[in-house]
């Protein structure tokens, strides 16, 4: 990569005096991304206007980020292909936290890789997450680590019911989880999550599901997005409302804790924490559920709803560029996003109708429709009314 370095003297650009500022914006940066699904695709779309290009690595020949990024196809363990992938990259990132740790290590040894291994290993394992959450001041629900069926029986005695058994690794979109309402359900729950190392935790009687997303630059600067309110359906995110109304003190606390987590992990890029809002006699509390060391589905509304989207800020962070403001887009106070979950027959058939809905921003991912698969999303930006509009659509999705 060519860094043009130049001293600019005596020029004023807007209110900012540029005298003797060294400007080293690197045009034509090439950033790698492990994984080429819809998150990689939206990262590529956000990067291009910064003159930053993405090269994705994905074993799947139909990886949808390949429509707007160079796609290197290889198995996660194929060092020859990974070496070719790394050649010429200025930096590397990933779009999902289940990249094998060995793959990330291999790449990180060759190319500056953000977020780093600490973020990945924390985000890959629920046990590590809980420790990290506790270290930055969050309360977590009572939990016990479970290695086998006997452990689970003991855990149920310790923690009580109802509780949730969650596989420590590899879960997403509600997969690898089982609610246990009765000790007699233990064996069935253990088998349903694949008899894998897990945590058994007390069920959190939450009022709302919230998430906070923040981004940390290579220089340590941190920006926070407004908190989102989320609704899941069958374990999959269904609707997110951007800029949710949250008690001021609680929101500040969430910002402080995600800041502490970002710094502790020396994280570079976007990080999201999903939280339960719990209302007790003592007041409102946010209990973290899980973290994602990457751009997050509950931040998709930021593409139109924020001045700088989570995707653009992640790319700015990884590329070592200054982060952009996370303020709501001019005049907007609310944003709402509905996930399009690919039913059979494929729900993208309905997209033509979505295009006709006033003010809807359609985002299709170019993926083959499949039961339970996220194939796109729709965003509205404006005021409180956009939330009603999204709720109405979400109720009827998939439509038949």
- By CB under 8 A, the residues from 63 to 82 that bind a second copy are 67-69
- Nearest Cα residue to 230 out of 348, 381, 335: 335
What span, in angstroms and rounded, lies between the C-alpha atoms of 79 and 31? Answer: 18
Q: How many CB atoms lie within 10 A of CB 285?
A: 19
Residue 174 lies near a second copy (rule: CB under 8 A):
no
Residue 154 lies near a second copy (rule: CB under 8 A):
no
Q: Which of residues 23-62 bind a second copy (CB under 8 A)?
A: 23-25, 27-28, 41, 44-45, 48-51, 53
Minimum CB separation of residue 60 from a second copy in Å reads 16
What span, in angstroms and rounded, lies between the C-alpha atoms of 398 and 341? Answer: 7
Q: Which residues of 360-393 are buried (b: 16+ CB within 10 A; e: fewer)?
A: bbebebbbebeeebbbbbbbbbbeeebbebbeeb
Residue 222 lies near a second copy (rule: CB under 8 A):
no
Of 17-25, 140-148, 226-234, 257-265, the segment contacting a second copy by CB under 8 A is: 17-25
CA distances for 283 relative to 206, 249, 277, 280, angstroms: 13, 11, 10, 5
Which residue lies nearer to a second copy by CB, 29 or 198? 29
Angle between helices 248-264 and 126-135 (to 10 degrees): 110
Residue 383 lies near a second copy (rule: CB under 8 A):
yes
Minimum CB separation of residue 239 from a second copy in Å reads 14
Query: In sequence order, which residues have a C-beta less than 8 Å from that of residue 211 and are 6 or more positions away?
Result: 227, 228, 230, 240, 272, 273, 274, 275, 296, 298, 299
3-state secondary structure of 107: helix
Minimum CB separation of residue 61 from a second copy in Å reads 15
Q: Dihedral sign, CA of 134, 248, 238, 337? A: negative
Query: In sequence order, which residues have a C-beta less than 8 Å from that of residue 252 and are 6 or more positions away?
Result: none
- Nearest Cα residue to 173 out of 298, 318, 62: 298
Minimum CB separation of residue 399 from a second copy in Å reads 4
Of 10-18, 173-181, 209-217, 251-259, the segment contacting a second copy by CB under 8 A is: 10-18
Of 96-104, 240-248, 287-295, 388-396, the segment contacting a second copy by CB under 8 A is: 388-396
Of 16-24, 100-108, 251-259, 286-294, the segment contacting a second copy by CB under 8 A is: 16-24
Residue 117 lies near a second copy (rule: CB under 8 A):
no
Minimum CB separation of residue 266 from a second copy in Å reads 23
Residue 18 lies near a second copy (rule: CB under 8 A):
yes
Which residue lies nearer to a second copy by CB, 119 or 308? 308
Angle at 55 between CA 54 and CA 59, to 5 degrees: 135
Minimum CB separation of residue 389 from a second copy in Å reads 7
Which residue lies nearer to a second copy by CB, 214 or 386? 386
CA distances for 210 relative to 110, 121, 137, 254, 316, angstroms: 37, 23, 17, 10, 25
Question: Which residue has 């590590």 as its token pair?
Answer: 128
Which residue lies nearer to a second copy by CB, 44 or 228? 44
Of 79-87, 223-231, 260-268, 328-336, the segment contacting a second copy by CB under 8 A is: 328-336
Residue of 316, 336, 340, 341 that binds a second copy (CB under 8 A):
316
Residue 109 lies near a second copy (rule: CB under 8 A):
no
Residue 183 lies near a second copy (rule: CB under 8 A):
no
Site string for a second copy, 339-378 (x = CB under 8 A): ------xx-xxxxxxxxxxxx-xxxxxx---------x--
Of 11-19, 203-211, 240-248, 262-270, the segment contacting a second copy by CB under 8 A is: 11-19
Q: What is the DSSP string of 139-165?
A: ----EEEESSHHHHHHHHHHH-SSEEE
Residue of 150, 322, 370, 371 that binds a second copy (CB under 8 A):
322
Residue 296 lies near a second copy (rule: CB under 8 A):
no
Residue 8 lies near a second copy (rule: CB under 8 A):
yes
Of 19-27, 83-91, 245-253, 271-279, the segment contacting a second copy by CB under 8 A is: 19-27
Q: Are strands 143-146 and 52-57 parallel, antiparallel or unpaired?
A: unpaired
263 CA to centre of own chain = 18
User: Phi/psi class of residue 17: alpha, beta or left (left: φ > 0; alpha: ψ in -120 to 50)?
Assistant: beta
């Amino acid at each position: 990569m060519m860094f043009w370095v130049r001293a600019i003297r005596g020029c004023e650009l807007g209110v900012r005096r540029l005298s003797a500022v060294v400007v080293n914006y690197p045009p034509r940066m090439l950033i790698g991304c492990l994984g080429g699904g819809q998150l990689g695709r939206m990262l590529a779309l956000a990067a291009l206007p910064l003159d930053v290009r993405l090269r994705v690595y994905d074993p799947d020949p139909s990886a949808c980020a390949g429509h707007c990024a160079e796609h290197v196809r290889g198995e996660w363990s194929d060092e020859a292909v990974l070496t070719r992938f790394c050649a010429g990259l200025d930096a590397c990132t990933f779009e999902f936290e289940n990249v094998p740790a060995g793959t990330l290590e291999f790449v990180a040894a060759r190319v500056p890789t953000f977020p780093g291994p600490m973020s990945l290993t924390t985000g890959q394992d629920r046990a590590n997450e809980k420790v990290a959450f506790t270290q930055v001041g969050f309360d977590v629900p009572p939990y016990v680590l479970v290695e086998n069926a006997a452990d689970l029986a003991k855990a149920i005695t310790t923690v009580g019911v109802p509780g949730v058994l969650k596989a420590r690794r590899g879960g997403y979109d509600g997969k690898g989880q089982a609610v246990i309402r009765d000790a007699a359900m233990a064996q069935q729950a253990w088998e349903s999550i694949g008899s894998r190392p897990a945590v058994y935790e007390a069920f959190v009687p939450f009022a709302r599901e919230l998430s906070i997303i923040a981004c940390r630059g290579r220089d340590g600067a941190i920006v926070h997005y407004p908190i989102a309110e989320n609704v899941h359906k069958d374990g999959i995110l269904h609707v997110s409302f951007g800029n949710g109304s949250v008690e001021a003190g609680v929101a500040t606390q969430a910002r402080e804790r995600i800041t502490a987590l970002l710094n502790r992990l020396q994280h570079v890029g976007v990080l999201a924490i999903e939280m339960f809002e719990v209302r007790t006699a003592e007041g409102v509390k946010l209990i973290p559920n899980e973290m994602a060391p990457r751009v997050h589905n509950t931040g998709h509304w930021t593409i139109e709803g924020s001045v700088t989207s989570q995707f653009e800020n992640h790319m700015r962070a990884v590329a070592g560029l200054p982060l952009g403001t996370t303020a709501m887009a001019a005049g907007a106070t609310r944003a709402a996003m509905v996930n399009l979950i690919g039913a059979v027959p494929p729900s993208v058939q309905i997209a033509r109708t979505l295009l006709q809905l006033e003010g809807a921003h359609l985002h299709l991912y170019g993926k083959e429709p499949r039961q339970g698969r996220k194939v796109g999303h729709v965003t509205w930006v404006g005021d409180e009314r956009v939330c009603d509009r999204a709720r109405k659509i979400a109720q009827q999705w998939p439509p038949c």
